């Protein structure tokens, strides 16, 4: 990273000053009543409010499978980003590969990579506004009041991009009292963070809230080739919110901005056991001959040996208006928004060796606006309290641009071009022919319109029938242009100029029956549908795709039976959902050693259960546990990708989908108490996240080489609170056992050219591992005023 030598000691000094300030402020008299802490709620009064059905409700009254967490719970479990969330939300994952934009959100084992034009299967929302590209939500959480993971299709109320689930973030709203919070944090690998918020009343019915964050991180990975540390970034974010309550009108305006500058690096280490000893020797020998160095082949030691010239710059900002007008006992809500995400990344050498072969410059630009008009009925008035409903109109538009340029390195010709052609190839490189050897531009415009409604009919006092539907109409236009400035790059990218168009419309619906014999028990059964619209392959390859760039829609049918129960005055909560999802036209990606291609694969069945429980044997001791079981099977996939060493296609019927572990779960316990009569308090949290074996390869081909063994992650947090919770100091750690594992795996680029295929068994090849985050730990201080 491009940092001046003075920066780290300066930051350390500033952080020490900030922590000292927090401690001194903690000794001052209280300035205002402190904010309530959701995690400190007693076992008899634990209510989590969610907006999964477009109105605020107790999560125990919502007849869908929801994993919901408040701000205090996220802090207890050391959850700072969306990539930390899977540790406490089972049947949900958020992983990224070598590009920061490539984050994959997965619910119930189904998701899509974020660095393509493919629509996500898990829709992300910030304060009710759809965020179309997952790559724009990878930063630190900023003043987040709550997070909801909605499992299963949410096509009726959330639309076409929630075909298997939705992820909803709620930021804190302004309040009519002066209050605030400031936190400072320091962690291993030179990671520092400062964040906070202030709430200001501007009048009797108007309030403003500002939240800000700054984070500085050097990274975990030492590159032995140049002696530099990689994987870090400097992050800044801010949000300004204004809320006005003007009679029967409530108007909330928000503006947010986030910026990240770093290298965007994730180590892609070569797995030495993926090839034969002879192949490994030859591969490393070629690297040594061309550069005098070779890949480090020891996994998970935080050392790499690769040619890295990485640089990452990401900006994303948005404006939103959320106005609710009370018309009698009805609510009329209008949400308008605009969001822009602009991200660029230089990946360094995309062959991932010490040899200067080829580097990639990638860029993403998304400009979108959402407009939604909702009509929300009163809960207990229509037809004598027998009917309530939510209805709405929705419009979404996005312009999305992906660009890619490949730069040929000084050893490209000597490593990858036939001997007879090397003089001509090297001659081109000597005259600048390696710069922008290929240039790809993909531009897409999307317009989507929908009308929806969902009603609850109380057939009898304990029995409610829910019926909802949504009609969506969509139009997509795109152009794909691939230029090649160097003829010797033909093995990487083929020239192409294609114009694409797609029109689609779909009706999705939901029907459910809820039986609630008392306030503590609800049993429900539901059937729902979802769909993800078709689209265009946005990536380049050695062969032009032309009209094969078009793929069709993906559809989902979902069956659920569940129960939400509370016992012993809410000291025990136990929720269980049994589900089955049938996916048709599954949009899958295959890889030919150079490029990825999305196509409609066939049919996929995912079924299992989700169990969530909360046990509070006393006011000071709470246990949270969850367990998910997933049975994944392709019921039809006749044209699955062949193994890399064999090529062709194979029938994958009866095999599991990738990123679909059979079991996942979490266990956490929080113990609180007082320190004598001093007014001080303490809390201790321990947590364990479990994931069973899964294939997390970049290609669905049932290759046992990309199976990641199951693993467990252990975390803890010890916190001391001052009188009236005015200040706190905490020690925390994640992955305390320093478990090494692969977040994702993919085949060595140009594996055939390097002679890496069929060495271990027919169909085998060289595999690279995107290494997950190692052990992290740190200390934080917080002051509330």
Q: What is the pLDDT of residues 106-136, one digit of tens each?
A: 999 999 888 889 899 999 999 999 999 988 9
- Specify the pLDDT at position 333: 97
Q: Please state the φ and ψ torsions of residue 745, each to the nearest 5 degrees.
A: -135, 150
pLDDT of residue 541: 85
Give the pLDDT confidence score for residue 38 in this predicted structure.
34
Instruction: Give Cα 168 distance to the centre of its chain.
Output: 11
| Among 172, 80, 73, residue whose Cα is nearest residue 776 | 80
DSSP E strand boundaries for 328-437:
330-349, 358-376, 387-408
Region for residue 668 given its phi and psi (left: phi exceeds 0; alpha: psi -120 to 50; beta: otherwise) = beta
pLDDT of 176 reads 92
Q: Which of 560, 526, 564 is nearest to 60 (CA)?
A: 564
Confidence of residue 44 (pLDDT cuts 50, 70, 90): very low
Confidence of residue 46 (pLDDT cuts 50, 70, 90): low
Output the pLDDT for position 593. Answer: 61
Q: Express each pLDDT in 408-444 by its tens digit.
A: 999 999 999 999 999 999 999 999 999 999 999 999 9
What was the pLDDT predicted at 743? Answer: 94
Residue 16 has pLDDT above 50, yes or no: no
- The answer, yes or no, to whether residue 14 has pLDDT greater than 90, is no
Q: Tell me the percentage of the chain whose pLDDT exceeds 90.
A: 82
pLDDT of residue 25: 32
Tens of pLDDT, residue by residue over 494-538, are: 999 999 999 999 999 999 999 999 999 999 999 999 999 999 999
Residue 755 scores a pLDDT above 50: yes
3-state secondary structure 157-191: CCCCCCCCEEEEEEECCCCCCCEEEEEEEEECCCE
The 10s digit of each residue's pLDDT in 157-196 is 998 889 999 999 999 999 999 999 999 999 999 999 999 9
Condensed to tens digits (0 to 9), the pLDDT of residues 58-103 reads 889 899 999 999 999 999 999 999 999 999 999 999 988 878 788 8
Condensed to tens digits (0 to 9), the pLDDT of residues 645-677 reads 898 889 999 999 999 999 999 999 999 999 988
pLDDT digit string, tens, across residues 345-384: 998 788 999 999 999 999 999 999 999 999 999 998 999 9
pLDDT for 356 equals 94
Q: Is the pLDDT of residue 686 over 80?
A: yes
Per the structure block, which two tokens stand in for 446? 């999307």
Mean pLDDT of 687-715: 96
Q: 249-277, pLDDT tens digit by residue?
A: 999 999 999 999 999 899 999 999 999 99
Strand partners, 564: 522, 575
The answer as to CATH 3.40.630.10 being correct for domain 7-206+224-296+312-473+493-784 is: no
More confident: 541 or 200: 200
More confident residue, 631 or 22: 631
| pLDDT given for residue 211 in this prediction | 98
* pLDDT number for residue 12: 41
Mean pLDDT for the chain overall: 91
pLDDT of residue 7: 39
Domain coordinates in residue numbering, the chain:
7-206+224-296+312-473+493-784
Do the Cβ atoms of 221 and 267 come closer than 8 Å?
yes
Top-confidence residue, 548 or 774? 774
Give how far Cα 435 sits from Cα of 10, 358, 360, 408, 488, Å: 38, 10, 11, 7, 12
pLDDT the model gives residue 26: 35
Give the bridge partners for 529, in sequence order. 557
* Residue 601: predicted pLDDT: 87
Using CA atoms of 74, 260, 267, 99 in order, give the dihedral in degrees to the nearest 10.
100
Cα(697)–Cα(691) distance, integer angstroms: 16
pLDDT at 32 over 60: no
DSSP state for residue 36 in the 8-state scheme: P
Whether the per-residue pLDDT at 540 is higher than 50: the answer is yes
CA atoms of 112 and 135, how far apart (whole Å) = 12
Q: What is the model's pTM?
A: 0.90
> Where does the pLDDT of residue 48 fall: very low under 50, low under 70, confident under 90, or very high at 90 and above?
confident
User: In this predicted structure, what is the pLDDT of residue 461?
Assistant: 84
Separation CA 392–CA 382 (nearest Å)? 18
- Compute how many other C-beta atoms are within 10 angstroms of the C-beta atom of residue 437: 24
232-364-471 Cα angle (round to 5): 120
- Residue pair 180/188 in contact (Cβ under 8 Å)? The answer is no
Report yes or no: 782 and 22 within 8 Å, Cβ to Cβ.
yes
389 contacts 423 by C-beta, under 8 angstroms: no
Q: Look at residue 418 in the predicted model and tell me its pLDDT.
A: 93
Residue 371 confidence (pLDDT):
97
Name the band, by pLDDT with cuts 50, 70 and 90, for residue 701: very high
Helix (H, G, I), strand (E, B) or coil at 685: strand
* DSSP per position, 193-246: EEEEEEEEE-SSSEEEEEEEEEEEE--SEEETTTTEEES-EEEEEEEEEEEEEE
11 pLDDT exceeds 80? Answer: no
> Residue 701 carries which DSSP code?
S
Longest dimension (CA), the chain: 87
Within 228-310, strands assigned E span 228-230, 233-246, 249-262, 268-270, 303-304
First to last CA, the chain: 36
Judge residue 329's burial from the number of C-beta atoms within 10 Å of its C-beta, 0-12 exposed, 13-18 middle, 19 or more buried.
Answer: exposed
Where is pLDDT greater, at 605 or 16? 605
Q: How many residues does the chain have?
A: 785
Q: How far apart are CA 258 and CA 420, in angstroms?
A: 51
Q: How far apart are CA 780 and CA 185, in angstroms?
A: 4
């Amino acid at each position: 990273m491009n940092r001046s030598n003075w920066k780290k000691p300066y930051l350390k000094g500033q952080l020490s000053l900030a922590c000292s300030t927090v401690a001194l402020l903690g000794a001052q008299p209280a300035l205002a009543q402190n904010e309530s802490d959701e995690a400190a709620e007693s076992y008899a009064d634990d209510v989590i409010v969610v907006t999964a059905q477009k109105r605020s409700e107790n999560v125990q009254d919502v007849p869908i499978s929801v994993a919901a967490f408040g701000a205090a719970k996220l802090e207890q479990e050391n959850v700072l980003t969306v990539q930390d969330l899977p540790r406490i939300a089972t049947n949900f994952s958020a992983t990224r590969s070598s590009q920061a934009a490539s984050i994959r959100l997965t619910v119930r084992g189904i998701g899509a990579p974020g660095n393509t034009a493919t629509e996500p299967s898990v829709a992300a929302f910030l304060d009710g506004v759809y965020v179309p590209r997952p790559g724009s939500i990878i930063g630190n959480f900023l003043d987040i009041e709550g997070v909801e993971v909605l499992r299963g299709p949410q096509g009726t109320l959330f639309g076409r991009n929630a075909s298997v689930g939705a992820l909803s973030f709620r930021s804190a709203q302004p309040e009519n009292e002066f209050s605030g919070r400031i936190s400072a944090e320091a962690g291993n690998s030179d990671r520092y963070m400062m964040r906070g918020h202030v709430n200001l009343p501007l009048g009797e019915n108007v309030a403003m809230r500002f939240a800000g964050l700054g984070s500085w991180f050097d990274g975990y990975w030492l590159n032995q080739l140049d002696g530099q540390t990689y994987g870090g970034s400097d992050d800044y974010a801010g949000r300004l919110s204004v809320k006005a309550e003007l009679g029967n009108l409530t108007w909330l305006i928000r503006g947010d901005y986030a910026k990240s500058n770093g290298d965007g690096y994730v180590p892609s280490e070569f797995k030495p056991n993926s090839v034969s000893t002879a192949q490994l020797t030859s591969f490393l020998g070629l690297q040594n001959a061309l550069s005098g160095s070779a890949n480090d082949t020891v996994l998970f030691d935080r050392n790499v040996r690769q040619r890295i010239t990485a640089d990452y710059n990401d900006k994303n900002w948005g404006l939103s208006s959320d106005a609710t007008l009370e018309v009698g006992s009805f609510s009329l809500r209008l949400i308008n928004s605009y969001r822009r995400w602009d991200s660029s990344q230089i990946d360094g050498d995309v062959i991932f060796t010490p040899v200067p072969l080829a580097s990639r410059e990638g860029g993403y630009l998304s400009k979108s606006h959402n407009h939604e008009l909702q009509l929300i009925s009163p809960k207990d008035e229509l037809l004598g309290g027998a009917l309530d409903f939510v209805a709405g109109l929705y419009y979404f538009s996005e312009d999305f641009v992906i660009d890619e340029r490949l730069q040929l390195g000084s050893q490209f010709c000597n490593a990858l071009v036939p001997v007879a052609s090397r003089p001509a190839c090297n001659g081109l490189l000597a005259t600048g022919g390696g710069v922008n050897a290929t240039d790809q531009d993909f531009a897409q415009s999307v317009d989507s319109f929908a009308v929806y409604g969902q009603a609850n009919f109380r057939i009898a006092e304990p029995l409610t029938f829910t019926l909802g539907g949504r009609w969506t109409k969509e139009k997509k236009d795109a152009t794909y242009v691939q230029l090649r400035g160097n003829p010797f790059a033909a093995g990487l990218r083929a020239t192409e100029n294609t114009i694409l168009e797609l029109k689609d419309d779909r009706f999705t619906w939901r029907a459910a029956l809820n039986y609630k014999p008392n306030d503590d028990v609800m049993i429900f059964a539901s059937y729902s549908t979802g769909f993800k619209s078709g689209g265009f392959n946005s990536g380049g390859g050695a062969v032009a795709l032309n009209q094969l760039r078009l793929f069709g829609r993906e559809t989902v049918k979902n069956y659920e039976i569940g129960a939400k129960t509370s016992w012993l005055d809410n000291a025990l909560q136990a929720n269980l959902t049994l589900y089955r999802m049938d996916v048709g036209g599954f949009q899958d990606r295959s890889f030919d050693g150079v490029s990825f291609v999305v196509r409609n694969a066939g049919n996929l069945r995912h079924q299992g259960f989700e169990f969530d429980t909360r046990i509070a044997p006393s006011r000071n001791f709470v246990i949270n546990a969850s367990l998910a079981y997933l049975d994944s099977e392709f019921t039809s996939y006749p044209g699955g990708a062949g193994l890399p060493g064999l090529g062709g296609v194979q029938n994958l019927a009866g095999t599991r989908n990738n990123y679909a572990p059979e079991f996942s779960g979490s266990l956490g316990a929080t113990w609180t108490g007082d320190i004598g009569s001093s007014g001080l308090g303490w809390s201790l949290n321990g947590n364990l996240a479990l994931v069973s074996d899964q294939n997390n390869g970049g290609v669905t081909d049932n290759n046992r080489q990309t199976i990641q063994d199951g693993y467990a992650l252990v975390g803890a947090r010890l916190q001391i609170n001052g009188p009236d919770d005015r200040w706190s100091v905490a020690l925390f750690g994640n992955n305390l056992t320093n478990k090494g594992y692969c977040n994702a795996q993919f085949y060595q680029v140009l594996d055939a050219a390097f002679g890496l295929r069929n060495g271990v068994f027919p169909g085998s090849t060289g595999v690279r591992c995107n290494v997950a985050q190692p052990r992290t730990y740190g200390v934080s201080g917080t002051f509330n005023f």
